Amino acid sequence: MDDAAVDRACEMIGRARKVVVFGCGREGLQIRGLAMRLFHLGRDVAVVGDMTAPAIGPGDLFVMTVGPGENSTALALLQVAKNAGATILVLTAQPTGRAAAFADSTLVIPAQTMADDQGPTASAVLPMGSLYEGMLLIVFEVMIAKLRALLGVSP
């Protein structure tokens, strides 16, 4: 992975007034874990779909994971965030997918997803997006370690 891109993502999170996160399915479970860790660091964070999720706007960061590059829910939410003036960080394995076009910054997770788990492009024994989802956990924990140092938060 591009360590400089991970650092840029951490800087975006550190600068944001508020961070709002979203992912579908099992990616959603992983990004909820990131939200909890950001809360532990004292960040103002919310998960799209939770009853207490606030509106998003300028100064806020929308973090979306969409490994396969696009789905209708992701594209609709990205448009809402863009229209509201939020900064957008997209995590994906498909940087040429339609979701990345909305991003102010893209963090590429080089792992198999449902977009490439069949035929000659299949690279993992794990089904569908399992490899990508596992990579998210690792990347998020690395990001939290970097953010802890960046924000000066003690263990």
Annotated catalytic residue, options 11, 27, 133, 141:
133
Q: Is 133 a residue of the active site?
A: yes
CA distance 116 to 52: 35
pTM of the model: 0.92
- The amino acid that residue 108 corresponds to is V
Spatial contact of 44 and 36, defined as CB atoms under 8 Å apart: no
CA distance 152 to 11: 13
pLDDT digits (tens, 9 = 90+) for 73-101: 999 999 999 999 999 999 999 999 999 99
pLDDT of 129 > 90? The answer is: no
Residue 131 is predicted with a pLDDT of 86
